[in-house]
Amino acid sequence: MSHSTKRKVTPLSPERADNDPLEKTGDRARKRAKQGDRLSGEPWPKLPTTTQYLPVALGGSHWRGENSFETIVIFGDSYSKSNELENGGSDTWVECVLGNYSRKESPTSRVLNFVSPGATVEDDLHSQFLSLKRTLREAPLDGERTAYFFYLGINDCGRTHSDDLEPIVEAIFDTMHDLYTKFSAKNFVLIDVPPIDRSPGAVESGSVEDMEERVQTWNELLQTQANDFAKGSSNATVFMFSSHHVLSEVLDEPLDLGFTEYDPGPANCT
């Protein structure tokens, strides 16, 4: 099995961190963050507080609250497909972001979705990134009003032992680094791997303990490297959302969350 080239996430120098087409100096970025929106007279929104559901929320000099989600770019697998990619398919979190399940109008007006079913970081993230690059040549994106989502790792954990996951996780941050330094990307959202060790496939195959170790290793690596990336990239805002925590709660207490005894049984709710 081939791995991505291992790269240590190290802090950028102030010159590199702030030398991008949108912001020539770090002082200018910090000044804008303090001044906020001159048109409305309101300061820019603060970052949300970290919780069990959002274990990483760092940065913020270019964070514009809901306005940072005007365009979302998605790298991922079938968990992040949207209905325009698969007619008649079931809804995913992408439709939720677009406001299908909310009375409130969604701030997102454009979705660039590069996901592919069965995708892994190791085999597919680079090709998804190249597809985005072709799009950016024709129409560059506003870094402050675009959020880049990475929801990958489920299939990597399914086929890769724990000891071999670190360089694969690092490949995500290689891509984020390229987006940040070459395409003025400012806002990143990472989603960790859900508890696939509690899936029917893992239970029936007897691989629960092995899969649990892989998932735990992946999520710990993702959080550590997300913190390192944010600390070394002064103009970036980095979030990590824990699908693992959310879905673990659903599996632990399905009845409290509106499921009934007629919904999928113990094989799905171990």
> Is position 30 within any domain?
no
CATH of the domain at 149: 3.40.50.1110
- Total number of domains in the chain: 1
Using an 8 Å Cβ cutoff, are 146 and 185 in contact?
Answer: yes
> Is position 267 within any domain?
no
Range of the domain at 253: 54-257
* CA neighbor of 151 nearest in space, from 84, 247, 10: 247
* Alpha-carbon gap, residue 230 to 82, rounded angstroms: 29
Q: Which residue in the block uniquely carries the two structure tokens 């790298």?
A: 75
Return the pLDDT at 18: 40
> Is position 235 within any domain?
yes
- Its pTM stands at 0.81
Using an 8 Å Cβ cutoff, are 111 and 186 in contact?
Answer: no
- Helix, strand, coil distribution of the chain in percent, nearest 5: 45, 10, 45
> Is position 44 within any domain?
no
> Is position 3 within any domain?
no
Return the pLDDT at 135: 93
Q: What are the per-10-residue average pLDDT scores of the chain (270 residues)? A: 44 38 39 45 81 95 91 95 62 78 67 95 98 93 96 97 98 98 97 96 95 98 98 96 96 90 55
> Is position 34 within any domain?
no
Length of the chain: 270
> Is position 49 within any domain?
no
> Is position 238 within any domain?
yes
* Alpha-carbon gap, residue 222 to 216, rounded angstroms: 10
